[in-house]
């Protein structure tokens, strides 16, 4: 049987309209999907340039009741749901002593709790559709501990555990759950990594970039398109027997 990357009439919800979310939404649209995108920042939801069949929703994903209300409205607009991509995330570079209860709770609320609760809402809809795909966006920081990123690393490690647990629980319902872990991504979040390196190693920004690229065998930063490619592959029929897996898109950085 011929399989493809076509997503004609697939109904997709992308959580987070940052560089990864926007590029992922665009790729799904290009492949024939209807796409809803959530973000707390209305300035990041001006997605009209992508296509007419993209539906932006302004919502605070750390507020459960708002999330639940928006989810009902989203699935009504889309007419159901086939694919969920959890890619909202925040990071803070802080030593262990600097992390306050608020810092810890905020990182966990965005990076882990929101993915859990939106997935919990999505599962019954995906079951009704006869199955579907959930993709969580993790990080290389969820594959190894990172200096001064204790809360961020912890949230991304936990996201991988959530991914694997859900894959086992809902495989019988033909719901596949996988995680994509970017490496050093060309994005504003990567600035935190570079600034941390500058601060701790007393090097210039240029040197920090050179050293990070030198540690990456493919010699470049990861791009949002690299991640969107991985998300679309794992959501497609080409990956119909893949679930509970972690795909590291790092260019060999480890």
> What is the DSSP track for 89-152?
-----B-GGG--HHHHHHHHIIIIIHHHHHHHHHHHHHHHTT-EEEEEE--GGGTS--TTBHHH
198 part of a folded domain: no
Q: What is the pLDDT of residue 63?
A: 97
Range of the domain at 130: 11-184+223-249
Sign for the CA dihedral angle at 54, 60, 64, 69 comes to: negative
- Residue 121 confidence (pLDDT): 98
Residues involved in catalysis? 152
- CATH code for the domain of 119: 3.40.50.720
Burial 245-254 (b: 16+ CB within 10 A, else e): bbbbbbbebe
> Does residue 206 lie in a domain region?
no
- For the chain, residues with pLDDT lower than 50 are 1
3 falls within a domain: no
In three-state secondary structure terms, 56 is strand
pLDDT of residue 2: 52
Phi, psi of 32 (to 5 degrees): 100, 10
**Number of domains present in the structure of the chain:** 1
In a domain, 113, yes or no: yes
Using DSSP bridges, classify how beta strands 54-58 and 83-86 pair: parallel, antiparallel or unpaired.
Answer: unpaired
Q: How far apart are CA 2 and CA 133, in angstroms?
A: 19
pLDDT of residue 5: 75
Token pair of 125 as six digits: 């809809």
Q: What is the DSSP letter of 18?
A: S
Residue-wise pLDDT for 157-173, tens only, equals 999 999 999 999 999 99
pLDDT at 45: 82
Q: Would residue 208 count as lying in a domain?
A: no
Six-digit token pair at 81? 């749901």
- Residue 88 is assigned to a structural domain of this protein: yes
Count of Cβ atoms closer than 10 Å to residue 11 Cβ: 23
Residue among 85, 75, 33 nearest 54 (CA): 33
Q: Please check whether residue 122 lies inside any domain of the structure.
A: yes
Whether 201 is in a domain gets the answer: no
């Amino acid at each position: 049987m011929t399989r493809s990357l076509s997503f004609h009439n697939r109904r997709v919800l992308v959580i987070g309209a940052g560089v990864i979310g926007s590029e992922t939404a665009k790729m799904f649209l290009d492949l024939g999907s209807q796409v809803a995108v959530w973000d707390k920042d209305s300035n990041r939801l001006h997605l009209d340039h992508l296509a007419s069949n993209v539906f932006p929703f302004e919502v605070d994903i750390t507020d459960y009741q708002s999330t639940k209300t928006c989810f009902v409205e989203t699935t009504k607009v889309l007419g159901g749901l086939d694919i969920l991509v959890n890619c909202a995330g925040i990071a803070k570079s802080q030593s262990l002593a600097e992390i306050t209860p608020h810092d810890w709770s905020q990182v966990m609320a965005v990076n882990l709790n929101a993915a859990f609760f939106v997935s919990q809402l999505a599962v019954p809809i995906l079951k009704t559709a006869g199955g579907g795909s959930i993709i969580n966006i993790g990080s290389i920081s969820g594959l190894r501990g990172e200096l001064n990123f204790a809360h961020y690393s912890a949230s991304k490690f936990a996201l991988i555990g959530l991914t694997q647990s859900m894959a086992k629980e809902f495989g019988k319902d033909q719901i596949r759950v996988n995680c994509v872990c970017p490496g050093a991504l060309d994005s504003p979040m990567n600035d935190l990594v570079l600034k941390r390196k500058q601060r701790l190693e007393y090097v210039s920004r240029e040197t920090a970039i050179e050293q990070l690229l030198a540690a990456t065998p493919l010699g470049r930063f990861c791009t949002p398109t690299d991640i969107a490619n991985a998300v679309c592959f794992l959501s497609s029929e080409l990956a119909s027997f893949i679930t509970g897996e972690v795909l590291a898109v790092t260019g060999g950085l480890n």
